[in-house]
Structure 1
Amino acid sequence: MGQVTSPQAETWVRAEDPSAVGAVRRQAVHLAEQAGFDATLIGQTAVAVSEAVSNLVKHAVEGAVMVRPHPETASTVELISLDRGPGMADIARALRDGYSTSGTLGIGMGAIARIATGYDVHSLPGKGTVLAMHFTAGDAAAPPQRASGVTRPIGDETVCGDAFAISEIGAVTTVMICDGLGHGHIAAQASQRAVELFQQVRDQEPLAILDHLHRGLSGTRGGAVGVARVEPGGVTFAGLGNISGWVAHAEGRQGMVSVPGITGHRGGRLRQFAYEVPAYATVVLHSDGLSARWDPSTMPGLFSRTPAVIAAGLMREAGTQRDDASVVTARPGA
C-alpha cells in the first residue's frame, strides 16, 4: 500500500439545497467507475450516497459532504459528511431499517450501513454528526483504516493550499502534511510538490523525508511540513514550520515538537523526536487552519472512532474559515 492523496482529490459540497444530492451522487458514480466497480455496486453506491446527502439536506445544520478515492486504497470510494446538529442520542437505534424521526439523521441509516463495505459514525446531541462510509470494488481488500485525513480551502476558494499523504508498508504507517505558504494555486503547487517528493522517499525515517522535502521545495513558495512514522508502540516525528503534532486519546493529548522555519527556504537544524503511542491513542497532525486549542474531553467518544471520523470531527470542531485547513490522523498497525 502507499497511495498518496492530493489536495485536488477532495471537494466539499455544502448540503444546503436538494441539488447537492445529485452533485455528490454523480461524483460518487464517476469515482466508482474509475475504481472498477461493477454495475450493481455502482448502483448501490449511488443509493447509499444519495440517502446520506438527503439526510443532511433535510435535517442537518451546516452540513457538508465530500466523496473521494479512499486515501489508503485506489479500489475504494469514500464519503465523509459532517454537520453541527441536531445529533443522535441513540446511534444503534438510528441504524435500524425503517427508523425515522424529524429530529435526527436516522432516516436511511440502516440501509447505508447494510450497503456500504464499511462505515463509522460519531454523534452527540446538540453538537452534530460525523459519518464516514466506504465502498470497495469486487474482491479487493477493504482498507485497513489505520490512517486518514481531510483538507478544506479557505472561504469560498476551490483549491486548497494544504495537502497530506499516507504510506503504509507492513506495520508502519508514515504520514506527511504540508501547509503551502499563502492560499490558492501557488500554495497548492508547493503542497502538491511536497506530496510528489514524499512519494520518492516514503520508506525512510521522518528526518530524512523532511530533509528531502526541504531541499526539493526550494523552487516553490514553500510551506510548513510535518512527517510522522507510526508503528506499534511509538511514533517518530520531524516537523519544520507551524504544524501541530499530537498523540491524542480520550483523556488528553501530548504535543510533539516542530522546529521553526519554512520548508524549502529557511529553518534551523532539522530534528527528529520519538514518542510513545499507546494502542488506544491516535497520532494527529494539523495545519494552523485548525486551532490548537481543541480538547479531547469536549468530544466524548470521538477518539474511539476510525481515523477518518476523528479527522473530520477535528476539522468541524477546530477548523477556522480564515485559512486553508488540513488534518491527518494515524494509528499504530498490528
Structure 2
Amino acid sequence: MSGGAVASIPEGLLDEGVWFRVEAASTAAAVRRAAERLATELGIPEKDIADLSIVVAEAAGNLVKHADEGIILVRPVRARERAGAEIIVIDKGPGMADVRHSADDGYSTAGTLGIGLGAITRQASWSDIHSVPGRGTVLAAQIWPGGEPEQAWAAGITRPLTGEQVSGDAYAIREVDGRHQVLVVDGLGHGPLANVAALEAVRVFRAAPAVPPAALVETLHRALNHTRGAALAVAELDLGRGVVRYAGLGNISGTIFAPDGSRKGLVSLPGIAGHQKRQIREFDYPLAAESVLLMHSDGIVDRWNAGDYPGLLTHSPQVIAGTVLRDAGVRRDDAGVLVARLS
C-alpha cells in the first residue's frame, strides 16, 4: 500500500490497481496524479480526466479531513471495447445514517464523506455508496468516456499483505457462450512468486474453452504445475436454471446469500492446484433471483455477518466487496474477495 509519489509506482502496476493510505494532503495529491496518469494511459479524453480529477480530489480530501484509516484503490475498468477509471474509497469513520442527505450540497458532518459527496456523484459517470454509523463508508465511483456502460454483474478487490507491492490473490470474470463464470485464486504463500501463480491461473481461465467449473479447475490444475501452486475455485451462475455450479481446490470460501436472508456455504475440496489433488468435484446449489455470491481467499475471515450491514447486499458488487475487505480482511496475508449477482 502506497503513501508516496506517483513516480514510485512501478510501470504496469497501475493496470492491476494501486492502493493508497490517505492520511495527509500530500498523499491526496498523489492519488489524484495516479488517477490522471492511469486515465491518460487508457486514452480517456481530457474532459473526462478533468471530471476524474474532481472526483478523486474530493474523495481523498475528505479522507484526510474526516475519516479514520482511509484508503483508496485506483484502477482501470473495462467493458467490451471500452475502458474507464475507477476508485474504491474505504474508511472506518463514524459513517452516515442518511447517505442521500449527506450528498446534498452544503451538508457536512465531521467523520463522513459528506463534504464533496454531491460533487462526486455529479461528476462521476457512475457511483455507489454504503455507510453504517459506527463502522464507516465505502464508495465506488467510475469515469467512462462517452457515458456510463452497463454495470458489471461481478467485481472483485484484492489487497497485498502489508509490505508487499503485489498480491498473491487474484480473480477473473468472464462471459463465454452464455456462461457467466468467475474465478478466485490464492497463490501459495505471498509476494512475487504467489502473484505469478495467481496471474497464470487468471490467464488460463480467460483463454479456456466454455466448459463447466470442474473441467476448468482440472485445466487450471494442469497449467499451474510449473508454478508454486494455488488454492482456487470456479463458479458458474445460471439464473435461467436457478443454479450455481461450483468446483474448488484448497481454502477458497464461497457463500450464497439469498434474498430471504438465508445463506449457503459452498464446498471446496482439499488440494493445491498445480501440485496435489485427490479429486475434483462439481457441486450444484440453488440460485434465486437477486441472490449474491461471495467468494474469498483465506485472507478474509468467515465471521463476517451480512446482518450487521443493513441494505448492503442490494448494492453494487464493488461496494459489497470493499466492505467485506475492510471489516473481514486480515493484515498478515494477501486478501481477495469477489462478489457476483445476476438479476
- TM-score, structure 1 normalization: 0.93
Give the aligned partner of residue 293 of structure 1.
Answer: 303
- Name the CA distance, whole Å, in 2 between partners of 1:151 and 1:196: 17
In structure 2, distance between residues paired with 1:28 and 1:256: 37
Q: Equivalences for 1:12-31 in 2 at 5 Å?
A: 12-31=19-38
Q: Report Cα offsets for 1:195-251 as digits up to 9, x if no partner.
A: 111111163211111111000000100010011111313211110111001102462
- Decide which moves more: 65-74 or 221-230: 65-74
Aligned residues: 327
1:57-68 correspondence runs (5 A) = 57-68=64-75
Q: Does 1:110 align with 2:118?
A: yes
| Percent identity of paired positions between Structure 1 and Structure 2 | 45
Residue in 2 that maps onto 1:87: 95
Q: Tell whether 2:217 aligns with 1:210.
A: yes
Indicate yes or no: 2:255 matched with 1:246: yes
Q: Which structure has more RCO (C-alpha within 8 Å, separation ≥ 6)? A: 1
Change over 3 Å in CA distance of 1:242–1:83 after alignment to 2? same
Task: Summarize the Cα distance change of 1:171–1:314 in structure 2 as closer, same or farther, 3 Å threshold.
Answer: farther
Does residue 283 in structure 1 map to residue 287 in structure 2? no
Query: Shift of the alpha carbon at 1:101?
Result: 2.6
Asked whether the 8 Å contact 1:171–1:231 carries over to 2, the reply is no
| 1:120 matched residue in structure 2 | 128
Q: Could you report, residue by residue, the CA deviation over 1:229-281 in whole angstroms, capped at 9, with x for unpaired residues?
A: 11313211110111001102462421011010000000111011111122221
Give, in whole Å, the separation in 2 of the partners of 1:226 and 1:286.
Answer: 9
Cross-structure match for 1:98:
106
Q: Would the aligned equivalents of 2:169 and 2:185 in 1 still touch at CA under 8 Å?
A: yes
Task: Tell me the secondary structure at the aligned position of residue 198 of structure 2.
Answer: helix
The alignment's TM-score, normalised by the length of structure 2, stands at 0.91
Equivalence for 2:39: 32
Structure 2 residues without counterparts, runs of 5 or longer? 1-12
Gaps of 5+ in 1: 1-5
CA distance in 1, matches of 2:258, 2:132: 18
Counterpart in the other structure of 1:11: 18
The amino acid across from 2:191 in the alignment is G
Q: Cα RMSD between the aligned structures?
A: 1.8
Deviation of the 1:31 alpha carbon: 2.0
Aligned counterparts, 1:1-334, within 5 A: 9-70=16-77, 72=79, 74-138=82-146, 142-169=149-176, 172-201=179-208, 203-232=210-239, 233-249=242-258, 251-332=261-342
Secondary structure, counterpart of 1:322 in structure 2: coil
